[in-house]
Amino acid sequence: MNLHASSTIKEIRQKYNLQLSKSLGQNFITDGNVIDSIIEGAGIGPDDLVIEIGPGIGVLTAAAAETAAKVIAIEIDSRLIPILEETLAEYDNIEVINRDILKTDLNEIVEEQVRAGAFAGAVRIIGNLPYYITTPIIMQIFESGVKADSVTVMMQKEVAERIEAGPGSRTYGAISACVQYYCDVEMIAKVPKEVFVPRPKVDSAVLNFKIRKEKPAQLKDEKVFFACIKAGFGKRRKTLLNSLSGVCGLDKSAVGEILGEAGIDPSRRAETLGIEEFAAIANLVAERSTAGDTTHE
């Protein structure tokens, strides 16, 4: 069975009387080249564990299972579970979990698979993401600290461009800075909306995230670093002096001193700062807010 053929998707929809859910972002891939670009981009080897987010009817799942040692696919829609049982019946190295990815502990899944001796290679996360929760999913993956070697996922093209953007670009924002702290980002494919069923309103792109073994900056407190990025971009048209005022309870004069100490012009805006500069600010903010905490003890 050619799973990704439009005719197969049509047959499955008729057989199971399946109305695809817009609110769950159910736009299925119908192009073998897109599947190949995700699978090849992920660099899946025969010893690897693949975790797939949102398998749908299993087109990527089956392709990953051809190469990987084990595939765990996490799907929220219980109506798709019997369908996946049918479409993936020939594979004995796939486990489908009916769960919300945002309520799934990825570390626990990996640890379980390690304990079971299910794989001896890398951990690779793949998916054609449900677009309504792209950013929460990506942040959850990185914040969880899951020991994944790569993350290769498709998303709305505009979101991919924002994540990939660097300082000085119009699209550089909090999500770009946060993600680029954790990994190197590469756009590996642009995908037109015509290759999905049903056809979404927007084009898509596949990003490959290579998780950094060494972070680009030493942080005193990751939470403070993210708070500074959020504050800076929260008021992106304001100068750093204004946008960072109030971060971690620090007033404007403290922020001015910190920017001076970090050698950063207070009239600059967040969109011009690289990761190292955010880190320098955040480390000074962390020092001051900890010092503040101690005086209250």
The full DSSP string for 109-169 is HHHHHHHTT--SS-EEEEEE--GGGHHHHHHHHHHTT---SEEEEEEEHHHHHHHH--TTS
Starting at the earlier edge strand, list the strands of the sheet with 150-156. 94-98, 70-75, 49-53, 123-128, 150-156, 204-211, 183-191
Residue nearest to ligand SAM (CB): 54
Nearest CA to 159 out of 199, 187, 122, 192 is that of: 187
For the chain, the C-alpha Rg in angstroms (whole number) is: 22
**Closer Cβ to ligand SAM, 5 or 114, answer by number:** 5
CA atoms within 13 A on the CB side of 56: 30
DSSP 3-state of 183: strand
Nearest CA to 156 out of 184, 182, 175, 180 is that of: 175
Burial class of residue 286, CB neighbours in 10 A (0-12, 13-18, 19+): buried
Binding ligand SAM (rule: CB under 6 A), the pick from 41, 49, 56, 191 is 56
**Closer Cβ to ligand SAM, 51 or 259, answer by number:** 51
Shortest distance, CB of residue 30 to ligand SAM, whole angstroms? 8
- Does 134 sit near ligand SAM (CB under 6 A)? no
Alpha carbons 107 and 184: distance in angstroms, whole number: 21
Considering only residues 193 to 252 of the shown chain, the ones binding ligand SAM according to CB under 6 A are: none
Considering only residues 60 to 89 of the shown chain, the ones binding ligand SAM according to CB under 6 A are: 60, 74-77, 80
Shortest distance, CB of residue 181 to ligand SAM, whole angstroms? 24
CB atoms within 10 A of CB 228: 28
- Does 135 sit near ligand SAM (CB under 6 A)? no
**Closer Cβ to ligand SAM, 65 or 101, answer by number:** 101
Shortest distance, CB of residue 294 to ligand SAM, whole angstroms? 41
CB atoms within 10 A of CB 200: 15
Question: Among 25-33, 155-163, 182-190, 276-284, which window interacts with ligand SAM (CB under 6 A)?
Answer: 25-33
Binding ligand SAM (rule: CB under 6 A), the pick from 27, 135, 180, 283 is 27
How many residues touch ligand SAM (CB under 6 A)?
22
Shortest distance, CB of residue 174 to ligand SAM, whole angstroms? 22
Question: Among 39-47, 99-107, 210-218, 227-235, which window interacts with ligand SAM (CB under 6 A)?
Answer: 99-107
Question: Among 11-19, 27-35, 160-168, 266-274, which window interacts with ligand SAM (CB under 6 A)?
Answer: 27-35
- Does 41 sit near ligand SAM (CB under 6 A)? no
Nearest CA to 242 out of 274, 214, 269 is that of: 269
Contact residues for ligand SAM (CB under 6 A)?
24-29, 54-56, 59-60, 74-77, 80, 100-102, 128, 130, 133
